[in-house]
Amino acid sequence: MASFFAGTRVRSAAFTSLLSGVSIHRFAAWLVGPLAIVAALFWVANHIGGNVFAVKTEKTDCVPNERFVNDPDGRRFLELRWLMDPPGWRVRLRAPAEYVTWADVGCESATMPGYPDPNYRDVYAHGFSIGVDLPDFAVLHPSDRHIWNRGLDTTKMVVRLSSQAKVQGGEAEKVQVIQKDFYDTQRVSLDPDSVSLKSSHLTVGSKPDKFNLKRIGVIGDMSRYKTELGGGEAVDYYYVDRKPIDLWFECQAEEIKDHTEDSGWNRRPECQMFFRYARLDALIEARFPRIFMPMWPQIKSKLERLLDTFEIGELNEGQL
C-alpha cells in the first residue's frame, strides 16, 4: 500500500512539474480547440438528428402493416397491408405463416422481437420473404427459416417479394424494370476493366446456351477456388431469348463446382432468379442452390402456384 501511494506521489509530482512551466492561460488555450470540436459535433447532432440528451419518445399513431393471426380452423397467417395497382389500392394480403421467413417494416417487422415499433411509419409493407425446401417445396423446419441460415448441403430456396406499386406506368413499364435491372447488374459485374476481375486474371464473354437460356459470364481459370476463399466476382448470367428480358438468373460461374459435382470442391454455389409476378404487383427474387438450375422451369411454375394461393382481401377502413 505504501508503495502505491509513493508511486502516486511521484506521478503527481511529475505532473505538477510539467505544469509548472505552463501558464494557466496557455493551458486553457490548449483546451479551446478540442472543446470547440466537441461542441460543434453536439450542435450538428442536435440540429440534424434531434437532441442527443433527450430520451426518445414513442409515437402512438403507428398502425402495423403486418401481423400474424390465427384462423378459427387453427391455421396461422401473416397478414400484410399491401399496396398494388391501381396506385393507392391497399389490400389485405394473407400468406401462410409456415412459409414466412421475414416481413419488411410495418412499424417493425412482425417477425422481429421489437414488434411493433411505434417509431416507424409507412402506409404499406414494402416486401416480405418466404422459404421452401427444394425440390418438393416442402415447408422449412422452423430452425431453418432464418434467411441467411445456409450450409454446404442446404436445399433451401428463399424468395423475396418486393412491391412494384410505385413504379410509374402499367404492366409494360414494370416488366421493363426487370430488364433494366438485368442490364444494370450485368454492366457492373461483367466490367472487364473492374479491379476485381483484373486482379483475379478473369475476363468476360458469351458462353454456350444452357438450360434453354442464353448466357454470358466470367471466363478464366478458377481452379484456385478449390482451396482459396473468394470467387464472388465469378458469375454467369442466364436470360430468356426475348425482349423485354422478363426473366433472368445470376449464378456463381459454372467453373466453380458444387461439392456434389466434384468432390474436390467444398462449395454450394447459388443462383438468383428474377421475374415479375403480376397478381401481387411484385418483383420476385428467388435464391437457391445452383444444382437446381436444370429444373428452373418447374421451380418457377411451382413458386407461381404457391403464390397463387396467397389470399387478397379488403382492408377494414384502411387497416388490417
Please check whether residue 84 is in contact with residue 165, taking contact to mean a CB–CB distance below 8 angstroms. Answer: yes
* pLDDT at residue 201 greater than cutoff 80: yes
On whether the CB atoms of residues 75 and 96 are closer than 8 A, the answer is yes
pLDDT band at 50 (very low <50, low <70, confident <90, very high): very low
- pLDDT over 80 (residue 60): no
Maximum Cα–Cα distance across the chain:
88
Annotated domain spans of the chain: 2-48, 66-313
Identify the CA nearest to 93 among candidates 107, 110, 80. 80
Output phi, psi for 173, to 5 deg.
-65, -35
How many Å apart are CA 153 and CA 259, to the nearest integer?
A: 9
CB atoms within 10 A of CB 161: 26
pLDDT per position as a tens digit, 264-283: 999 999 999 999 999 999 99
Whether 120 and 62 have beta carbons less than 8 Å apart is answered as yes
How many Å from the N-terminal Cα to the C-terminal Cα in the chain? 69
Q: What's the pTM value of the predicted model, to 2 decimals?
A: 0.74
Q: Which three cell numbers stand for residue 101?
A: 421467413
257 vs 199, higher pLDDT? 257
> Residue 242 gets which letter from DSSP?
S
What confidence tens digit (pLDDT) does each residue in 218-250 have?
999 999 898 888 888 899 999 999 999 999 999
